[in-house]
């Protein structure tokens, strides 16, 4: 790749990397697997970068690549191999007042079925409309709406239970 397109690619990736990683992490629930999914997507993007000018909405295109890489990762055999009964606890210093709430939300999100979790992440974290989510996932708009509704209902129920257990 010539220096100018490579510079453009580097600038683009540097600006969007945290968000792309956050999306993959919310889908996979594991930082290392999220890193792998983002790396797979960005490697493919790098290979296509010189032809990328044909894409109308580059961010949506890259989000789709990351989501598909994350979903592809979940289908691989090795991703079902459990090394522990439950993920190890990550000890972190509190970053702010909403840390506990964020942890409870993240745990509840991971407990959702994959389809519902994926739809909720794309709809509310990526702020994609129903039509785009349906296109990314290759599902009908009705299925996306249904999974959004069921996912939100289940998530609310889990968060209420978590709140009641604290009180």
What residue spans define the domains of the chain?
A: 1-82, 94-167
Q: What is the mean pLDDT of residues 76-98?
A: 53
pLDDT of res. 94: 52
pLDDT tens, residue by residue, 109-131: 888 998 899 899 889 888 888 99
CA angle in degrees (0–180, nearest 5) for 47-52-66: 65
Band (141; pLDDT cuts 50, 70, 90): very high
Please give the C-alpha separations between residue 32 and each of 28, 29, 38, 61, in angstroms, as whole numbers: 9, 9, 10, 23
CATH-assigned architecture of domain 1-82: Orthogonal Bundle (1.10)
CA distance 47 to 40: 11
Tokens read off for 28: 């996979």
For the entire predicted model, the pTM comes to 0.60
94-167 CATH fold:
Arc Repressor Mutant, subunit A (1.10.10)
* Stated length of the chain: 167
For the segment 62-87, the average pLDDT, to the nearest whole number, is 68
Q: Mean pLDDT score of the chain, rounded to an integer? A: 82
In whole angstroms, how far apart are CA 89 and each of 75, 84, 107, 114?
Answer: 25, 11, 12, 22
122 and 128 Cβ atoms separated by less than 8 Å: yes
């Amino acid at each position: 790749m010539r220096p100018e397109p490579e510079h453009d690619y580097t600038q683009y990736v540097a600006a969007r990397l945290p968000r792309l990683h956050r999306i993959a992490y919310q889908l996979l629930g594991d930082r290392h697997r999220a890193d792998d999914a983002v790396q797979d997507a960005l490697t493919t993007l790098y290979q296509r970068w010189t032809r990328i000018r044909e894409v109308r909405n580059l961010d949506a295109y890259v989000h789709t690549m990351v989501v598909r890489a994350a979903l592809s990762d979940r289908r691989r055999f090795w991703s079902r191999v459990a090394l522990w009964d439950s993920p190890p606890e990550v000890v972190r210093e509190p970053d702010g007042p909403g840390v506990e709430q964020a942890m409870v939300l993240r745990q509840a999100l991971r407990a959702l079925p994959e389809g519902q979790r994926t739809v909720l992440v794309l709809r509310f974290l990526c702020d994609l409309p129903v039509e785009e989510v349906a296109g990314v996932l290759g599902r009908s708009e009705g299925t996306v709406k249904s999974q959004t509704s069921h996912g939100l209902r289940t998530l609310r129920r889990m968060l209420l239970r978590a709140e009641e257990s604290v009180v």
